[in-house]
Structure 1
Amino acid sequence: MSAPDAAPLVRAVDLAKRFEVSAPWLDRVLGGRPRQWLQAVDGVSFEIERGRTLALVGESGCGKSTVARLLVGLYQPTRGQLVFDGQDAQAAYAGPQDRARALRRRIQMIFQDPYASLNPRWRVEDIVAEPLRVHGLGADDEERRERVGQLLASVGLNAADGSKYPHQFSGGQRQRISIARAIATAPDFLVCDEPTSALDVSVQAQVLNLMKDLQRARGLTYLFISHNLAVVRHVSDSVGVMYLGRLVELAPREAIFEAPRHPYTRMLLAAIPQLHATGAARTPVLGEVPNPLDPPSGCTFHPRCPQADARCRSERPALRTVGGIRIACHQVA
C-alpha cells in the first residue's frame, strides 16, 4: 500500500457508465420491444500519481472519451467511485456550487477538435479569460487581460493575438489557445481527449512538446486519451489498453511497448509501421469490434483472439496483477 505522501492524485475505482439507447416509447409499445442500454464503460479502475501521465488507448468506441467525461464531471457514473486528491469527486460535483467549482478549477479538459471547441464569435482574449471570470480570478478586467497575455505567451503565442478570432489561426495555433484556456485556472489535473488527432503530424509534435514542457514547469498530471500509439509512446508514463469498455492491460510504458502481454495489445502494436522494417508486411488488426449493444459472452475479445479457448468464450477474465502489470486474460499466467 502506498505511503500517505505518495497517494495518487487521481484514483478511479470500478467506474462504469451506461446509456439508454432505446427506441421512442410509442415505437417500443407498438413493436413490443424492451428498453435498450449501451454499456460504454464497464468497471474501469486506475491510479495516476502527481506529475505523471496515464494514456488510455484503444480502437474507436472502446469508451476512452466516456472515461474522460466521467473524470471531469460531464457524466455521472452509473457505478463506481472517483477520488481526486483524497476527496470523493462525485460528491463534490453533485454538491454545493462552491464545492463543485473549487474542484472544477483543479480539473480541466482539452478537447479533441480545436475547430469546434472554440467559440467562433468570441475573441481569443475572451475565450482564454472565460475561466478566469467564472472562477473569480483577477481583480478586474485589466488584470485578467494581462493574465491572458501571459497565458498566450506560455503556449507560444503573442499577447497581441488576444484581439483576433479563432478563424484567423491554424489548427495547431487553435489547440494552443485551447491549452491556454485549460491552464488558466492553474489546474492540477488535465484530461486530454485526443488533443492532437485533428492536427498534421508536424504540428502534433509541436503541441505534444508544449504539453510536456508545461507538465514539467507546472507539475501537471495528465490523463491522455489517444488511438495513436506513436503519440502515446512519446507522452506517457503508463498505458491502459481499453477494449469494449474495459481495461484489458495496464502497465508502465516500457512494458507495454517492449513486452506486451495481452493479445489485443500485441495486435495493436503489430499494426504500427516500423521505420527499420520498410517493405515488411504489417499485421492487420483482425476482425471488427463487436456490437456494444450485444457484446460477446465471456472475454469480449475472444471472437478476434487467436489464443481463445472454451474458457475465454464462457468466462469473463478479471483484471489481475501478473508480474507487475495488470491484465485481463485467461491465457497469461
Structure 2
Amino acid sequence: MKTPLVQAHDLAKTFDVSPPWLNRVLERKPRLTLHAVDGVSFEIEKGQTLALVGESGCGKSTVARLLVGLYEPTRGSLTFDGVDAHAAFKTSEGRQLRRRIQMIFQDPYASLNPRWIVEDIVGEPLREHGLITDANALRTRVEELLQSVGLSAQDRVKYPHQFSGGQRQRISIARALATEPEFLVCDEPTSALDVSVQAQVLNIMKDLQRERGLTYLFISHNLAVVRHVSDQVGVMYLGRLVELAPKQALFAQPRHPYTRMLLDAIPKMHDTGRARTPVQGEVPNPLNPPTGCAFHPRCPQANARCKSERPVLLALHGVKVACHAVEEGRV
C-alpha cells in the first residue's frame, strides 16, 4: 500500500470571537468560541483530487488555510509525504516544505498586488526561495510559466488591472506553479468567474495535473465543477465531514441526507418538468450549534438519537458517512 501524500487527522480550529474584555465585564457576557473546523480527517493520494463541498460558512476555507500553514490547528495533525507538516513549518525545513505546498486563492482581484507588474508577481516565489537570482533567467522562467497557463510571454510587463478575471486567475496559477509544487490547495478558484471562463481555467488545471502529476485539494460549492475535477468528494456541514466518497459513488448514490439535499437542488437537463427540491432550512448559528447531529433540525430522517448523540464518520460499503439514519438502515 502506498502512503497517501496528504493525511489530515482530526484537524480542528477554534477562534475566540468574544466581545472586548470591558464589554464582557459590564454587560456580563460570556466568552464566545467559534468551532470553524471540528475534527476533519481525510487522505489524498499522489496525483489525485479531493474536492470539499458545502454551503458557505461550513469551514472549507479554514481547512485550506490549515493545510498550507496559514492557520495553526487547535487540535489534530497534518502529515505531508510522511512529515508532520505543522511541526516542520516552524523549523528551517519549513521553507523547503512550503515550496512543495502552494495555494490558489478565491478572488483573483484581491490576491494580486495591483502595484506590481506580472513579472514581479509570478517571480516573487522564485526570488523568495532563492531558486533564481539572475534577472535574465528569472524573466525567461516567468515567460515559460505564463505560457504554460495560456498567457503570452509579453504579458509579463503588464499590471493586473489590464487583465480579465479569468486571465488574472491564470496569473495566480502561474505564481502557484513557480516553485514546482506537488500539492495545490485551490480555494474556490473559479467562483468569481463567468461560466465559460470557469471551464477554461478548470481545463488548464486538469492539463497541468496530468503533465506534472499534481495533487489537488479543490474547494467549491458548485457541484457541477466538483464533478468535472474530482476523484474523491468530501461533504462538509458546520465544520465536520458528513460524507466522504469516490466521485462516482457520491453522485450515483448519495448516502447522507444533506448530500441528497444538495444534489436534488441541482437543475438537470433531462428533468425539465420535475420540480426541484430546494435546500430546506438554513445553516444553524455556528456559535450555538444544535446538540447531537448538527444537521438534525433540517433532516427529514431525524429521530431522538440524532438530537442527542453526535454521529461519527463510519466506513459503510466503500464510503464514509456520519449519519445515524444510514447506520441504522433507515435511509
Taking structure 1 as the reference length, the TM-score comes to: 0.97
Per-residue deviation at 1:138? Answer: 1.6
- In 2, Cα distance between equivalents of 1:19 and 1:202: 37
1:160 matches 2:138: no
Match of 1:288 among 282, 291, 297: 282
How far, CA to CA, are the matches of 2:243 and 2:90 in structure 1? 31
Three-state SS of the structure 1 residue aligned to 2:325 is coil
1:233 maps to 227
Contact 2:242 2:321 in 1 (8 A): yes
Number of residue-to-residue matches in the alignment = 327
Q: Secondary structure at the match of 1:287?
A: coil
Cα-to-partner distance string for 1:261-289 (whole Å, 9 max, x where unaligned) = 00000000000000111242100000000
Match of 2:316 among 319, 322, 333: 322
1:233-278 superposed Cα distances (whole Å, 9 cap, x missing partner): 0000000000000000000000110000000000000000001112
Could you report, residue by residue, the CA deviation over 1:16-74 in whole angstroms, capped at 9, with x for unpaired residues?
A: 00000000010001111221100000000000000000000000000000000000000
Q: Does 1:13 align with 2:9?
A: yes
Aligned residue type for 1:181: R
Q: Equivalent of 1:192, from 181, 186, 197?
A: 186
Structure 1: 5+ residue stretches without partners: none
Q: List alignment gaps of at least 5 residues for structure 2.
A: none
Are 1:140 and 2:134 an aligned pair? yes
Q: CA deviation at 1:130?
A: 0.2
- Tell me the amino acid that sits aligned with residue 260 of structure 2: R
- Return the letter of the residue paired with 1:249: E
Superposed counterparts of 1:1-333, under 5 Å: 3=1, 6-95=2-91, 98-333=92-327
Q: Secondary structure at the match of 2:276?
A: coil
User: C-alpha separation between the residues in 1 aligned to 2:31 and 2:58?
Assistant: 22
- For residues 135 and 159 of structure 1, the distance between their equivalents in structure 2, rounded to whole angstroms, comes to 23
Q: For 1:46 and 1:268, locate their aligned partners in 2 and report how far apart those are by CA, in whole Å.
A: 21
Structure 1 residues 272-308: Cα deviation after superposition (integer angstroms, max 9, x where no partner): 0001112421000000000000000000000000000
1:157: how far off? 0.4
Identity %: 76
Aligned counterparts of 1:121 and 1:231: Cα–Cα separation in 2 = 32
**Residue identity opposite 1:308 in structure 2:** A
**Please, which moves more after superposition, 26-35 or 226-235?**
26-35
Residues in 1 aligned to 2:168 and 2:237: alpha-carbon distance in whole angstroms:
31
Work out the CA distance in 1 between the residues paired with 2:163 and 2:65.
Answer: 27
State the distance in 1 between where 2:44 and 2:135 align. 36
Superposed CA RMSD: 0.6
Amino acid at match of 1:207: V
CA drift at 1:141: 1.3
Q: Which runs of 4+ in 1 moved over 6 A?
A: none
The answer on whether the counterparts of 2:4 and 2:46 sit within 8 Å (CA) in structure 1 is yes
Matched residues in 2 for 1:296 and 1:55: separation? Answer: 26
Is this contact kept in 1: 2:127–2:133, CA < 8 A?
no
- With normalisation by structure 2, the TM-score equals 0.98
1:284 and 1:85 map into 2 onto residues whose CA distance is 41
Q: In 2, are the aligned partners of 1:15 and 1:80 still within 8 Å (CA)?
A: yes
